[in-house]
Amino acid sequence: MEPTVDLYRQLPAAKAAPLKLKLTAAEPFTPQYVQSAVTQAPKPAEIYPTRVKGRMLLLDNSAKESRLKKERNEKKAKVREAKERKKLGVLGRRQGSVRELGLWRFDESQAKFALFLPLHHLWMGYMSELLNLPKSSSGPPRAPQGAAIHPKLLKADFHGSFITVHQTRNTAVLGISGIIIHETEGTFKVVTNEDKLKILPKQNTIFTFAVPVYSTLPPTHDPSNPLPIPPPEESLQTVLDGPHALLELHGNQFRFRSADRAGKKFKAKESIEL
């Protein structure tokens, strides 16, 4: 027998939906669970809010999170800047671009010995202050003591000094002398008396340079003021034209840039050259 269906029987009620969390603007920190129907939207009278009491809600501190995030971003930015500075060269450019732009390229038409004599006179005054040389009226000339001046000369700037190739394996540069106008890690660029630009390698070479015995500074010189321009009769003189002391410079132990040499610690040791 076929089952009978009562067409007028009341339909079963819809299943209740799960409770949903609702926050109101009036009480934003008090959650309310609202029960809503699945099949159709309930009427306002059918909503029964239920307050949750005696429970602690863990809310995020947006101010603290933003501060920590800002600190992390600043730290990352500093690390990136440090890496970029490490990649940059002496002039704030990437390595290799200085040579490509020719910033250290020297115009050989400007290689005039008389043009760099003021630089040489400036270096003589620099040596007078660095080595604390006495005045010419203090008595007979005395050679500077090696133990006292060697540590200072190791860190000194040699741009403007008059240097000579004393001994080398490269006979093409033996005996060449001139004023240093540029020092690199492995070479000296000098302008000779014949108005020629020469590049002298440091490796396997022994140089000699002269330092004045007396101070070349005027008696009324103030260290806070720039050096005065020498008179015309002295403008063509070099350190070799007055009392001086000759010192040797071993190129194999001097293969550093002047800026790196100023902050390097040297240890006394025996060396066998050539």
* Cβ contact 198:173 at 8 Å: yes
pLDDT at position 216 is 84
* Cβ contact 165:180 at 8 Å: no
Return the number of other C-beta atoms located less than 10 Å from residue 185's C-beta: 12
Report the alpha-carbon angle 122-128-130, nearest 5.
100
Torsions phi, psi of 190, nearest 5? -125, 155
Give SS3 for 94: strand
pLDDT at position 243 is 86
Return the number of other C-beta atoms located less than 10 Å from residue 112's C-beta: 10
pLDDT at position 103 is 66
Return the number of other C-beta atoms located less than 10 Å from residue 256's C-beta: 18
pLDDT at position 41 is 47
Residues 6+ apart with CB under 8 A from 29: 57, 59
pLDDT at position 39 is 45
Q: Can you give the pLDDT of all 274 residues of the chain as single tens digits?
A: 566 777 777 776 655 555 565 656 566 555 555 544 444 444 444 444 444 555 666 566 665 667 778 888 899 999 998 888 777 655 555 555 556 666 667 777 888 898 899 889 889 988 888 888 888 776 676 666 667 788 888 888 999 999 999 999 888 999 999 999 998 888 999 999 999 999 999 988 999 999 998 888 877 777 777 776 666 566 778 888 888 888 888 888 888 887 777 777 766 666 555 5
Give SS3 for 270: coil
Over residues 4-62, the pLDDT tens digits come to 777 777 776 655 555 565 656 566 555 555 544 444 444 444 444 444 555 666 566 66
Torsions phi, psi of 184, nearest 5? -115, -175
